[in-house]
Amino acid sequence: MFEFPIHSPVEQITYDVPDGYSLFIKRDDLIDPLISGNKWRKLKFTLQEAHKQGKTTLVSFGGAYSNHLLALASAAAKFQLKSIAFVRGDEEQTENTMMIISRMMGMQFIRVSRDEYRDKPALFKKYFEKDDTAFFVDEGGMSAEGSLGCEEIIDELTDTYTDIFLAAGTGCTTAGIINAINKKQLHTHVHSVVVHRGVDEVTDNVNRLSYFVSRNSYLDTRYSILDTPMRYGQHSPELLQFCITFQQNTGIMLDPIYTGKAMMKCYEWMKGNPDGSGKILFIHTGGLLGNLGKLDAFLPYLPR
């Protein structure tokens, strides 16, 4: 139950990689068009837990452009479960494409105020206390089960790498990667590119979810997006240009909220250390439909 074949090959990227480095990408974006990237990784054991408890309604939380909610809606549909999500009512008054696609997969939305949204357990209790079928899934799929699922990204590898780059929102995926690296006693340096200003919060989450005292793997958040104006959900002209150039030279799509930022930082790191060397694995954490909210911003960068 709650398994499906995972297609996530590792491919080499040769485009603009400086001498001394080799760059590989774990294509978790290919797992599923909607349950893509780290989303399935984070949901798998959560769904198994819900099933064990006999729950059939997944209740979660997210912003109006949440990749997590779209994935949850699709996973629920795939396994004949119900899905309901709380969104902040003041975030966007009209329904955006992500929400419409989630509704096409059967998700129901409950809009609540920003204040109410803050206390998620209280919201769940208020609306679902008497509903025995309801199962709480935290925002972004953040949980011990979520990070356990992300360990499988490393378990699937047949090669070893000196460095791993990935985008971080809550740090749940990073925690899974670090746990798996420690478990396998690898000596891999993990560059977690936090895409918002809460680097301390992410580090706390990673520490809380890591069941190993970090012996071999080394969490590095120095390449996080601290430099404004590129805070969460925002973009700079350089980032948009980077995403377009990268895509047009590799055929691999990125998104400007997570993977584009992390890949840009990966190149910055390689190019900033021209005398360095390394065999790098970039983990593509999916989220490509996030581009739907950024189409207008990309227009000036597209060929005519």
Q: Which residues of this chain interact with ligand PLP, rule CB under 6 A? A: 37-38, 67-68, 140, 167-174, 258-259, 285-287
Strand order in the sheet with 21-26: 10-13, 21-26, 278-283, 163-168, 189-194, 218-220
Which one, 153 or 168, has the nearer CB to ligand PLP? Answer: 168
Q: Please, what sign has the CA dihedral across residues 225, 200, 185, 27? A: negative
d(CA 277, CA 269): 11
Which one, 62 or 267, has the nearer CB to ligand PLP? Answer: 62
Q: How many CB atoms lie within 10 A of CB 33?
A: 11
d(CA 225, CA 237): 15
> Nearest distance from residue 14's CB to ligand PLP, in Å?
24
> Nearest distance from residue 290's CB to ligand PLP, in Å?
7
3 state SS of 11: strand
> Nearest distance from residue 255's CB to ligand PLP, in Å?
6
β pairing state of 57-62 and 134-136? parallel
Which one, 54 or 264, has the nearer CB to ligand PLP? Answer: 264
Which residues touch 70 (CB under 8 Å, ≥6 apart)? 34, 98, 101, 102, 105, 289
> Nearest distance from residue 276's CB to ligand PLP, in Å?
25
Q: Which residue has the CB atom at the shortest distance from ligand PLP?
A: 287
Which one, 74 or 259, has the nearer CB to ligand PLP? Answer: 259
Place of tokens 């580090």: 203
> Nearest distance from residue 174's CB to ligand PLP, in Å?
6
d(CA 38, CA 19): 30
d(CA 59, CA 303): 42
> Nearest distance from residue 18's CB to ligand PLP, in Å?
25
Which one, 295 or 300, has the nearer CB to ligand PLP? Answer: 295
Q: Please, what sign has the CA dihedral across residues 83, 88, 89, 94? A: negative
> Nearest distance from residue 54's CB to ligand PLP, in Å?
27
